[in-house]
């Protein structure tokens, strides 16, 4: 059969359309899928429906709860966000450690859900409803408010409080779909149009380095940025992604529908947008605080004006008020300017207000063109210029007297939390409960203030013998009072106040001569030494005791050995009782070699001068010379302990050299520090001018000084300085070659430093210092001390010469004496003494070392607590970050404390303190503290009268001037078995010379406070 020739061709042609059709079918299908994908993607970008389901499902598992004890699932922020740092959230782990070291324990803490913890672990910001306001709150022991600050101070409480015109303007500027009710599931964290443009701009930025990048942030991501991103900035694309994811998680916390969340975002932005800073205010956040700071406007008034502007259905703004829109327009323009200024607040609000005016006017036109505001409002606003303020009028000052308790608590919190200033403290999200009894403190404060009037002082019984004299005006006397309570193993502050209307705090902020209250410290120290001697020798037999050879200078060890050798009762209580019966002369006629000089002391009562009194009697009646001599024995005891047998001090050549070198080093440092302070902050030639101004105008002396302080200076400089210094004298006309002769003759190569100092009659260390500072103007104090050591010792080369043997002996004794005060001050500091050093003089036994009333109260608290030292506390509990995933509660824990004074010593001291009141200087309270209705409480304590003077003596120790610097009257006390404290009266120069009152006035003032203190202290009182 013949077949058609073209069959094969036909088959090929028949198959080709099928392959093409298949490819087209695949292409169409793929294109359709892409189109569908693009449609759904576009739809998702518009509606966020899938995002809503996904993120809302995650957020349903995000939660936290507060339960007892520390949490093992809590996560703290760690990104360096300004909000988290300012509120204290990021510092909470560090603060927890600090508080634990100060006796606080975590009593309750937030526990994060597993999902919340996982979000934090993945590096995102934890989603929760953040606070619009926070700040420090303080409460007293009863829960009454003491102090409350809120930052920002003015905020919108919710969306309904925001004037519609403000909400519309903000959404138009930042995100026009934010308040779109037709898109209920919209994700406010991303605006796709702006985000896409931002991505394109980022790509162009890599090619064109100067290409501007306006950014693609929404309000939600902006809040995340300035609150939680490091430094409040977006440093790279991953940080932007973290902001977007975190903002998305936060938006869907309330469920899939986000309109309520979007409204909250708008409110949060208005309340918290950063608006720069001002001196005296600090950082400014939110429209409310921004209006006050930059325009001096009242937030409520502005909102009332703007609320009068209605926004109609088409967005055309009308006014419900009659007349013009002048006030409303200015208010709106100011708000609008702050919404714009957020982009660069320092630039717009501080540097270039004109640029802010221009941009604000531009937006006014744009808002009107888009029917967000009316043309009438636009025109009224354009006609009023912005007047940005750069400094606020100072708010009326609250008297310091009325905030002393608050200041005490805030200062304690500052120290406890390790913060730098009260600004940082006040911005913490912190609520603190104190131990203070605010109502009682106010009552005491009022009574102390009344005591500063003649009528009030008379009512308190402050006029009389050893108190105020007739005609004395108490107005210049400051009174301070502190009261503590022993409660559940703690010593807690209940009252602390004074009448000083300035930041100065008498209780804790001064170093005052509190007179004979120092005898209490001296007595305790003395008995501690006796206790140590008892521990060392009480177990020895009489023959063993006889073989112990005490140092001839050590009277205390000699007495202890003699006592133990002649008594059968070797118990510590018996030895302590015997110790307080040791007798000393009260004769003031002796001149004491102490404190690097010769000192004399006097008794308050001249009748005591010829007596020999026991320590017991001298403490009760506060006799000075007995305690001066007791301190001498204590110092000698420590000298022997520190330096070894006294027989070797002056006979061992090696020891002599060692002590003389130490003396020269120590004293020369005193001169170096003195001269360094004298010339601090002066340029080289200014320092020279100050030196020369205090010198006689002698050519030789001036030449020796100038060649010493500026050895490298030219002849021209030298001649100029010389002629200026000699101006008005015949020597000023000296010939040039004579000047050159002086320049050459007194050069540093001709005489050593000591000789040049002698010629100039200037201390060699002063000359060296000026020369060194001229060459090293930025030298530190430490560098000066190191660099000057050789020169300082050389300046004392005279001391090492054998012909000054007697002088050397005195200096050696002074050095060993100063060394003896090191363990003395260490013992005092272990009992609350606040200073690192004390005056190396026997006079410290009667107040010369200075003290603080609060530190005296600490010592009394140890005695009241049977010798155990527990921390004194004014805070009972702290709550950080309430209602947040970081919420942490602290409470002060019970602490048994440490034994600071052995009980046997406490028993003796308590007995003596009681005798001070029953038969000594505190006898005005011998019958107890009167509380009213016949009730009393037993009181014991120690009095002290401080009379600090500045005395000037002529040759031969002749007093030529005596000026009263300040006067104090102090009573440190125990009331019953639960309360203790201190009361002081203080007056400084020039008023101190007007008064002669003694500690009797402090005792009487406490007595007058009895009925006022009764509600707190009177629960255990007895009836007379």
So what's the pLDDT on residue 12? Answer: 45
> How are the residues of the chain apportioned to helix, strand and coil, as percentages rounded to the nearest 5?
55, 15, 35
Q: How far apart are CA 872 and CA 436, in angstroms?
A: 12
Phi, psi dihedral angles at 468 (to 5 degrees): -80, 140
Tell me the C-alpha distance between 1015 and 979, whole Å. Answer: 13
Q: What is the three-class DSSP state of 650?
A: coil
Asked whether 799 and 814 are in contact (CB, 8 A), the reply is no
Interatomic CA distance for residues 766 and 772, integer angstroms: 10
**pLDDT the model gives residue 202:** 52
Cα 283 to chain centroid, rounded: 20
Peptide bond into 152 cis (omega under 30): yes
Contact between 497 and 409 under an 8 Å Cβ cutoff? The reply is: no
- pLDDT for the residue 211: 44
Burial of 691 (0-12, 13-18, 19+ CB in 10 A): buried
DSSP 963: E
The full length of the chain comes to: 1024
Residue 662 phi, psi (nearest 5): -65, -40
Residue entry with tokens 């013998």:
465
In angstroms, rounded to a whole number, what is the distance separating the alpha carbons of residues 380 and 326? 6
**Residue 6 has what pLDDT?**
45
- What does the DSSP assignment read for 296-360? ---HHHHHHHHHTEEE-TTS-EEESSSS--HHHHHHHHHHHHHHHHTTSHHIIIII-HHHHHHHH
Q: What is the DSSP string of 942-996?
A: EEEEEEEEEEEEETTTEEEEEEEEEEEEEEEEEETTTEEEEEEEEEETTTGGG--
Q: Tell me the backbone φ, ψ of residue 902, rounded to 5 degrees.
A: -65, 145
Report the alpha-carbon distance of residue 840 to residue 53 in Å, rounded: 79
Place of tokens 């634990």: 100
Question: How far is 21 from 285, CA to CA, in rounded Å?
Answer: 67
The number of C-alpha atoms within 13 Å of 379 and in the hemisphere containing its C-beta is: 4
* Other C-beta atoms lying within 10 Å of the C-beta of residue 751: 17
Tokens of 177: 């779909």
**pTM, entire model:** 0.82
117 C-beta neighbours (distance < 10 Å), count: 18
**Residue 726 in contact with residue 689, Cβ under 8 Å?**
no
Spatial separation of the C-alpha atoms in residues 530 and 571, rounded to whole Å: 12
Q: Using alpha carbons, select from 259, 248, 186, 188 the residue that is nearest to residue 218.
A: 188
Quote the CA–CA distance of 252 and 701 in Å, as a whole number.
86
Give the C-alpha distances (Å, rounded to integers) separating 581 from 367, 522, 624, 874. 94, 15, 16, 39
User: Which neighbouring-strand residues pair with 968?
Assistant: 946, 986
Q: Enumerate residues 6+ apart whose C-beta is below 8 A from 931.
A: 937, 1010, 1011, 1013, 1014, 1017, 1018, 1021
Q: Which residue ranges of the chain lie beneath pLDDT 50? A: 1-14, 211-213, 312-316, 318, 321-322, 952-955, 959-960, 1024
For residues 345 and 610, give the distance between their C-alpha atoms in angstroms, rounded to a whole number. Answer: 79
Provide DSSP, 817-879.
HHHHHHHHHHHHHTTT---S---SSGGGGGTTT-B-HHHHHHHHHHHHTTTEE--EESEEEEE
> Are the beta carbons of 436 and 405 closer than 8 angstroms?
yes
Name the token pair of 362: 């531009």
- Cα–Cα distance measured from residue 905 to residue 523, given in angstroms and rounded to the nearest whole number: 10
Largest CA distance in the chain: 165
Structural tokens at position 478: 């400051």
Contact (CB, 8 A) for 615 and 580: yes
Instruction: List 110's β-bridge partners, or say none.
Output: 66
Q: Using DSSP, state whether 503 is helix, strand or coil.
A: coil
The strand pairing partners of 106, in sequence order, are 890
CA 968 distance to own-chain centroid: 27
DSSP state at residue 746:
T
Q: What is the 3-state secondary structure (H, E, C) of 763-789?
A: CHHHHHHHHHHHHCCCCCHHHHHHHHH
Q: What is the DSSP letter of 178?
A: T
Tell which residue, 600, 519, 480, has the closest CA to residue 828.
519
pLDDT of residue 658: 87
pLDDT value of residue 11: 47
Q: Provide the sign of the torsion angle of the four alpha carbons 576, 578, 579, 581, taken in this order.
A: positive
Q: Name residues whose C-beta falls within 8 Å of residue 225's C-beta, 6 or more positions apart in sequence.
A: 217, 232, 233, 234, 243
What are the Cα distances from residue 98, in Å, to 101, 414, 879?
A: 5, 12, 15
3-state SS assignment for residue 138: strand
Helix residue spans in 566-698 (DSSP H): 572-579, 615-621, 624-643, 653-678, 684-693
Contact (CB, 8 A) for 127 and 76:
no
Q: Which residues pair with 108 in a beta bridge?
A: 68, 889
In this structure, what is the dihedral angle of CA atoms 757, 763, 764, 765, given to the nearest 10 degrees? -160
- Crossing angle of the two packed helices 805-829 and 653-678, in degrees rounded to 10: 70
Which sign, positive or negative, has the C-alpha torsion 758, 761, 764, 768? negative
Q: CA dihedral in degrees (20, 25, 31, 34; nearest 10)?
A: -140
Backbone angles phi, psi at 277, to 5 degrees: -150, 160
């Amino acid at each position: 059969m013949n077949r058609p020739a073209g069959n094969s061709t036909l088959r090929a042609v028949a198959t080709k359309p099928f392959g093409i059709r298949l490819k087209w079918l695949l292409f169409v299908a793929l294109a359709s899928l892409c189109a569908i994908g693009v449609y759904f993607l576009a739809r998702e970008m518009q509606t966020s429906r899938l995002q809503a389901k996904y993120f809302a499902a995650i957020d349903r598992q995000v939660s936290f709860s507060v339960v007892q004890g520390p949490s093992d699932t809590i996560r703290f922020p760690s990104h360096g966000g300004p909000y988290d740092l300012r509120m204290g959230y990021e510092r909470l782990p560090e603060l927890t450690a600090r508080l634990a070291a100060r006796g606080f324990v975590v009593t309750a803490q937030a526990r994060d859900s597993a999902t919340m913890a996982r979000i934090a672990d993945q590096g995102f910001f934890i989603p929760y409803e953040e606070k619009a306001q926070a700040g420090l709150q303080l409460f007293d022991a009863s829960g009454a408010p003491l102090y409350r600050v809120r930052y920002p101070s003015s905020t919108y409480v919710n969306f309904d409080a925001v004037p519609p015109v403000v909400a519309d303007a903000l959404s138009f500027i930042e995100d026009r779909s934010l308040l779109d009710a037709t898109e209920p599931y919209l994700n406010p964290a991303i605006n796709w149009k702006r985000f896409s443009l931002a991505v394109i701009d980022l790509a162009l930025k890599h090619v064109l380095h100067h290409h501007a990048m306006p950014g693609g942030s929404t309000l939600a991501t902006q809040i995340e940025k300035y609150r939680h991103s490091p430094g409040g900035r977006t440093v790279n694309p991953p940080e932007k992604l973290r902001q977007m994811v975190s903002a998305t998680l936060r938006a869907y916390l309330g469920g899939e529908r986000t309109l309520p969340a979007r409204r909250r975002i708008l409110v949060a932005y208005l309340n918290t947008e950063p608006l720069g800073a001002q001196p005296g205010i600090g950082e400014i956040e939110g429209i409310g605080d921004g209006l006050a700071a930059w325009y001096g406007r009242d937030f409520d008034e502005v909102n009332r004006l703007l609320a009068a502007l209605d926004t109609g259905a088409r967005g055309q703004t009308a006014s419900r008020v009659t007349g013009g829109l002048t006030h409303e327009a200015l208010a709106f323009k100011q708000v609008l300017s702050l919404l714009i200024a957020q982009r660069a607040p320092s630039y717009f609000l501080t540097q270039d207000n004109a640029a802010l005016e221009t941009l604000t006017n531009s937006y006014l036109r744009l808002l009107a063109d888009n029917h967000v505001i009316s043309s009438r409002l636009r025109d009224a606003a354009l006609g009023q210029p912005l007047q940005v303020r750069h400094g606020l009028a100072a708010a009326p000052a609250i008297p310091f007297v009325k905030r002393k308790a608050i200041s005490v608590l805030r200062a304690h919190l500052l120290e406890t939390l390790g913060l730098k200033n009260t600004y940082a403290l006040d911005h913490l999200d912190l609520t603190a409960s104190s131990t203070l009894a605010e109502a009682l403190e106010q009552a005491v404060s009022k009574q102390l203030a009344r005591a500063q009037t003649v009528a009030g002082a008379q009512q308190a019984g402050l006029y009389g013998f050893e108190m105020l004299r007739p005609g004395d005006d108490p107005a210049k006397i400051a009174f301070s009072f502190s009261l503590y309570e022993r409660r559940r193993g703690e010593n807690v502050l209940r009252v602390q106040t004074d009448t000083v209307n300035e930041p100065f705090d008498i209780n804790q902020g001064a170093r005052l001569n509190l007179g004979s209250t120092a005898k209490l410290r001296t007595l305790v120290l003395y008995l501690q030494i006796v206790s140590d001697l008892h521990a060392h020798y009480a177990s020895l037999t009489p023959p063993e005791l006889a073989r112990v050879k005490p140092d001839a200078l050590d009277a205390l060890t000699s007495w202890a050995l003699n006592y133990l050798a002649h008594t059968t009762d070797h118990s510590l209580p018996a030895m302590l009782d015997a110790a307080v019966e040791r007798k000393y002369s009260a004769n003031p006629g002796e001149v004491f070699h102490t404190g690097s000089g010769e000192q004399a002391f006097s008794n308050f009562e001249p009748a005591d001068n010829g007596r020999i009194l026991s320590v017991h009697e001298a403490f009760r009646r506060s006799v000075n010379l007995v305690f001066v001599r007791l301190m001498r024995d204590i110092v000698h005891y420590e000298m022997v302990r520190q330096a070894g047998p006294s027989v070797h001090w002056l006979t061992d050549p090696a020891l002599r050299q060692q002590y003389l070198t130490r003396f020269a080093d120590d004293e020369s440092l005193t001169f170096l520090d003195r001269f360094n302070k004298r010339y601090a902050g002066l340029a080289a030639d200014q320092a020279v001018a100050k030196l020369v101004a205090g010198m006689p105008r002698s050519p030789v002396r001036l030449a020796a000084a100038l060649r010493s302080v500026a050895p490298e200076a030219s002849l021209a400089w030298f001649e100029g300085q010389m002629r200026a210094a000699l101006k008005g004298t015949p020597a000023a006309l000296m010939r040039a070659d004579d000047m050159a002769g002086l320049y050459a003759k007194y050069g540093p190569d001709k005489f050593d430093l000591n000789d040049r100092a002698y010629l100039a009659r200037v201390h060699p260390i002063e000359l060296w210092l000026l020369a060194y500072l001229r060459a090293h103007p930025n030298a530190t104090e430490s560098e000066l001390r190191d660099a000057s050591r050789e020169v300082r010792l050389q300046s004392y080369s005279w001391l090492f010469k054998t012909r000054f043997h007697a002088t050397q002996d005195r200096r050696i004794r002074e050095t060993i004496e100063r060394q003896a005060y090191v363990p003395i001050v260490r013992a005092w500091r272990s009992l609350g003494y606040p200073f690192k050093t004390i005056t190396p003089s026997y006079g410290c036994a009667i107040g010369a070392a200075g003290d603080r009333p609060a530190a005296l109260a600490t010592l009394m608290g140890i005695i009241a607590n049977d010798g155990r030292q527990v921390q004194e506390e004014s805070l009972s509990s702290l709550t950080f970050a309430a209602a947040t995933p970081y919420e942490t509660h602290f409470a002060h824990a019970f602490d048994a404390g440490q034994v600071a004074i052995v009980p046997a010593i406490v028993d003796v001291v308590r007995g003596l303190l009681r005798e001070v009141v029953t038969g000594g200087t505190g006898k005005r309270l011998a019958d107890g503290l009167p509380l009213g209705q016949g009730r009393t409480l037993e009181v014991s304590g120690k009095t002290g009268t401080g009379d600090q003077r500045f005395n000037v003596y002529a040759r031969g120790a002749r007093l030529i001037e005596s000026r009263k610097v300040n006067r104090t009257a102090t009573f440190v006390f125990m009331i019953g078995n639960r309360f203790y404290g201190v009361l002081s009266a203080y007056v400084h120069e020039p008023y101190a010379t007007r008064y002669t009152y003694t500690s009797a006035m402090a005792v009487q003032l406490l007595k007058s406070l009895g009925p006022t203190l009764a509600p707190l202290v009177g629960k255990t009182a007895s009836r007379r």
